[in-house]
Structure 1
Amino acid sequence: MSGTGLSIPAPTEASLFGLPLWLVVAVGAVALFGAFQVYYWVGHFLGERLYASRVGTRIGRHRIRKVENVVRRWGALAVYACFWVPVLRHSLPWVAGVLRVSYPWYVVASALGCLTWVPVTSFGLYTVIWGWVGLASRSPITAAVVAVAALAALAGVTVWRRRRKAAPDDKLASA
């Protein structure tokens, strides 16, 4: 990118809030690990009462049953896998606590999840952002088209999911 004065920093040289990016990622992984332990113990201590809470009611009993079935079937492996599924990432850990998944295995699975998911998503997002900034420095119009296309795709997926989610409810209402 000569001539623009813009250079993409190497991941080992990049910084955020004045800290090296790798350190921010490491702190993020530790913080997420801590949050996962809190989720587990909240589920463990509150048990079934958690399902009647505002959060449990909002999620819905039928959805919680689906998560319970995943945890019963896969145990700690489900805890690791939930890092890669956006909605499960923050609902499955407290269900694991309610179901009393083996805590040592839970700790291992959540640690492995933090050690893999946080760096992959952080550096992946870093790459996407700097890739788009590089594109914008070469061709602002192309970058704008890419941004609009990405937003349109996101809006399309959101609308599609909402319609798909509403369809079973509509069938129940008309029956």
Structure 2
Amino acid sequence: MSLALINHLLQSYGYLAVFVFIAVESLGVPMPGETTLIAAALYAGSTHRLNIAVIAAVAAGAAVIGDNIGYWIGRRGGARLARRYGRHVGLTPRRLKVGRYLFDRHGGTVVFYSRFISGLRTYAAFIAGMVAMRRPGFVVANAAGALVWAPAIAFGAYGLGGAASGLGSALTFIGVGVSIALSVVVGLLVKRSMRSLEARADAAYPDEQAPAPVPVAELADTR
């Protein structure tokens, strides 16, 4: 999805576009949620047609709501969905096993920091539900991550947008480029550590190809 289209949707739908992109990305569908937040903040800073505080609040709310829906989907039928469709979005059995390994040992920390990592941000809530992470811990870590991530990204990009109004639009594109570059660097670092994590996960769960479905009795206890 091009930045031009995102800007067009922001100009047409404003806060609604921010909410939809971030919420849909958070529940497990690959969408440019963070890019939309950055674009909205840049737009607000350069035109003042949107309120940056409202943008940050909408983004945080969308992240929390989307993640909780993703968690619920993962909890109710995540294993079945992953087996059938996971390969189409990169959720291979080995990666799912790594997800279980991480959530079993560092659940809250993973949920919090996943909000800042492209790719992991999309699937973290779904995987957390699928591997039966305890709901109270998920809710707290998820809310904390959203409440830090949304204002940090929004107000940072807003300041850049304000500077761009005086220095020219080139600064806006530089800001977007830096954000994309940072996401790529983080993605490469995650990919580099994946082999080590896969080995640890294989050692921890030697007889499993993917996270096992949550027992029906356990699902009933979470209602």
TM over 0.5: yes
Among all aligned residue pairs of Structure 1 and Structure 2, give the percentage whose two residues are the same amino acid.
28
Residue 156 of structure 2: SS of its match in structure 1?
A: helix
1:124 to 2:156 alignment: yes
1:140: which partner in 2?
none
Query: What residue identity is the alignment partner of 1:36?
Result: D
- Distance (Å, rounded) in 2 between the aligned partners of 1:65 and 1:129: 41
Cα distance per residue 1:7-45 (max 9 Å; x no partner): xxx97xx441xxx32122212211111000000000000
Where do residues 142-157 of structure 1 align in structure 2 (5 Å cutoff)? 143=170, 147=174, 150=177, 154=181
- Distance (Å, rounded) in 1 between the aligned partners of 2:123 and 2:100: 10
Where do residues 10-89 of structure 1 align in structure 2 (5 Å cutoff)? 14-16=48-50, 20-54=51-85, 56-58=86-88, 59=90, 60-89=92-121
- Distance (Å, rounded) in 2 between the aligned partners of 1:67 and 1:124: 30
Are the aligned partners of 1:71 and 1:92 in contact in 2 as well (CA < 8 Å)? no
- Distance (Å, rounded) in 2 between the aligned partners of 1:53 and 1:130: 46
- Distance (Å, rounded) in 1 between the aligned partners of 2:78 and 2:60: 27
Are the aligned partners of 1:40 and 1:96 in contact in 2 as well (CA < 8 Å)? yes
- Distance (Å, rounded) in 1 between the aligned partners of 2:69 and 2:118: 18
- Distance (Å, rounded) in 2 between the aligned partners of 1:29 and 1:131: 24
Q: CA deviation at 1:104?
A: 0.8
Are the aligned partners of 2:99 and 2:127 in contact in 1 as well (CA < 8 Å)? yes
Cα distance per residue 1:115-152 (max 9 Å; x no partner): 11011011112122333333217xxxxx38x74xx48x
1:5: which partner in 2?
none
Moved over 4 A (4+): none
Farther off after superposition, 27-36 or 124-133 = 124-133
Are the aligned partners of 1:40 and 1:94 in contact in 2 as well (CA < 8 Å)? yes
- Distance (Å, rounded) in 2 between the aligned partners of 1:65 and 1:127: 41
Higher-RCO chain (CA-CA 8 Å, sequence separation at least 6) = 2
TM-score (norm 1): 0.66
Q: 1:125 to 1:53 in 2, by over 3 A?
A: farther
Residue 84 of structure 1: SS of its match in structure 2?
A: coil
- Distance (Å, rounded) in 2 between the aligned partners of 1:62 and 1:132: 44
1:106 to 2:135 alignment: no
- Distance (Å, rounded) in 2 between the aligned partners of 1:118 and 1:128: 16
TM-score (norm 2): 0.53
Q: 1:68 to 1:132 in 2, by over 3 A?
A: farther
